[in-house]
Amino acid sequence: METTRMNAFGSGLKDYRMLIDGELCAGHEWAVSDNPADESPLGRIAVAGTDDVERAVSAAERAQPIWATRDVHERAAALRELGARLLARGDEILQLEVRDTGNTIGKMRGDLAGAVHLLDYYAGIACEIKGETLPFTRDRLHLSMREPCGVVARIVPFNHPIYFEVAALVGPLMAGNAALIKPPEQSPLSSAILGEVCAEVLPAGLVNILPGPGQTTGDAIVRHPRVRRIAFTGSVPTGMMIQRRAAEVCVKHVTLELGGKNPMIVFPDVDPEVAANAAIAGMNFAWQGQSCGSTSRVLVHESIHDEVAERIVAGVKAMHLGDPLDARSQMGPINSARHYQRVMDYVAIAKDGGAHCAAGGKRPAGSAFERGYWIEPTVFTGVAADMRIAREEVFGPILSILKWRDVEEAIAIANSTEYGLAGALWSNDLGAAMKAAMKLDCGYVWINGAGGHFTGMPFGGTKNSGVGREECMDELLSYTRQKSLHVTLSGV
């Protein structure tokens, strides 16, 4: 959904509505969401205005105290039912999501199942929302308890909309909160199906889904004084803006899962073919590199650098681009026109900076790619650590290959950016890999792997990659606040 295309098509498109207070609503205006593969309009999404945000907050405030009094097992049962109904509409969601995002269908099949799995995981650990008792003095008892925050907001990115939208609900609702969800403006359509299912299963007002641009809808949510807990997944500049805008109103608890320029360090004892395959897989080309966890910097020891680079280039050139609904396609189009231009700008930046474009960097040939936001998967070699292409997040299908001589140099290069989300290490010497892992300034490290998320393992970054952890117990507890109680046992 490009905000400049609001109301560009007035008829002939399906309308997708937002959810406020249990009702599927039209907005004051509509925005058209395009298929990034061919730029054809897919449907119209309702756009939430500031008055809609106010209605949603008020509805959430009414629903939350009642929901919080429900037994934790009742809340878990309701969310499991939500997951079951979403899975029942899985094919419908998958078809829409692939067309709206450009992500390949082979990889997207796991998104909804993964989100429902998280739902089940949080439902299973909800009884662990516990307080503590402290050693008491002679006539006093000291204990703590956890309470829900109240009305919380989650702002979702465009790369995995339905996954992030469902996952965004789990922690807040299991902890007893009500939630406002702002879907991505670029790929918002699946949020309407989520809204329909929430309206069927959950109490009115408990979940409110508010599509719209970040500058208006998102800002109204962030600055609302009665929304005291916010979580955002997206870019560093937007995350920093959210922190500033929220702080202008009142003190809020804000967690951020932001960008990454994640390194993959390949040691000299690794088979070059294994290393090259790992680098291609870690780049997440099936999502067009539009993944915060992509290992977009491959740091290869000088003794095997040329062999690994040659195999990476050959493997990337052999990738099959095509209709993301075709199971044979290994990469689809960039998500939107605006983001396509950003990726192409970085191709030019890399070339101007002295890097060699060894693969891709242009629109694919053929009539099938004349329309849409297509770019070939791209590899740059001869990349130096101080080049912009090695330091700045592209969030697109651009892989940079760098060379290193000793481990300390590799660690220094890996830690030299503003980001600290994730990193990968490949070595047959587990001791050397573990020592290197301890020196990486990031929140998530793979050893002889890349890209995988493991339920229960805290995911999140250091430095400008954000604050807070997700997919784990820490996330669930972050949607509670602690209250300490001191009880005097003797008479008064």
Closest CA to 488 of 135, 145, 138, 134: 138
Residue 382 burial by CB count (10 A; 0-12/13-18/19+): exposed, middle or buried? middle
Do 295 and 175 lie in one domain? The reply is: no
* CA–CA distance, 77 with 90 (Å, rounded to integer): 20
Query: Both tokens of residue 106?
Result: 């082979």
- In contact, 280 and 316? CB cutoff 8 Å: yes
- Helices 90-101 and 190-201: crossing angle, nearest 10°? 150
The identity of residue 485, as a single letter, is: L
* CA–CA distance, 22 with 166 (Å, rounded to integer): 17
Domain membership of residue 421 (yes or no) is: yes
CATH of the domain at 190: 3.40.605.10
Which residues contact residue 28 at a Cβ distance below 8 angstroms, ignoring those fewer than 6 apart?
Answer: 47, 49, 52
* CA–CA distance, 462 with 43 (Å, rounded to integer): 38
CATH of the domain at 373: 3.40.309.10
- In contact, 144 and 132? CB cutoff 8 Å: yes
Do 432 and 291 lie in one domain? The reply is: yes
Is residue 253 within a helix (H) or strand (E), and if so which, with residue range? strand 253-257
Do 231 and 308 lie in one domain? The reply is: no
Which residues contact residue 229 at a Cβ distance below 8 angstroms, ignoring those fewer than 6 apart?
Answer: 149, 150, 151, 152, 153, 172, 177, 252, 253, 254, 479
pLDDT in tens, 368-418: 999 999 999 999 999 999 999 999 999 999 999 999 999 999 999 999 999
Do 232 and 322 lie in one domain? The reply is: no
Q: Which residues pair with 420 in a beta bridge?
A: 462
Q: How many domains does the chain have?
A: 2
Do 129 and 251 lie in one domain? The reply is: yes
Do 313 and 241 lie in one domain? The reply is: no
Angle at 450 between CA 448 and CA 454, to 5 degrees: 100
Query: Both tokens of residue 71?
Result: 């037994």
pLDDT in tens, 442-466: 999 999 999 999 999 999 999 999 9
Provide the residue range defining the domain that includes 379. 263-454
Do 226 and 294 lie in one domain? The reply is: no
Mean pLDDT of 26-40: 95
Q: Which residues are catalytic?
A: 257, 292
Residue 139: pLDDT band with limits 50, 70, 90:
confident
Please give the pLDDT value at position 489.
87
Residue 12: pLDDT band with limits 50, 70, 90:
confident
Give the total residue count for the chain. Answer: 492
Residue 304 has pLDDT above 80, yes or no: yes
Do 234 and 107 lie in one domain? The reply is: yes
* CA–CA distance, 213 with 399 (Å, rounded to integer): 30
Mean pLDDT of 231-245: 97
Mean pLDDT of 50-60: 98
Residue 10 has pLDDT above 80, yes or no: no
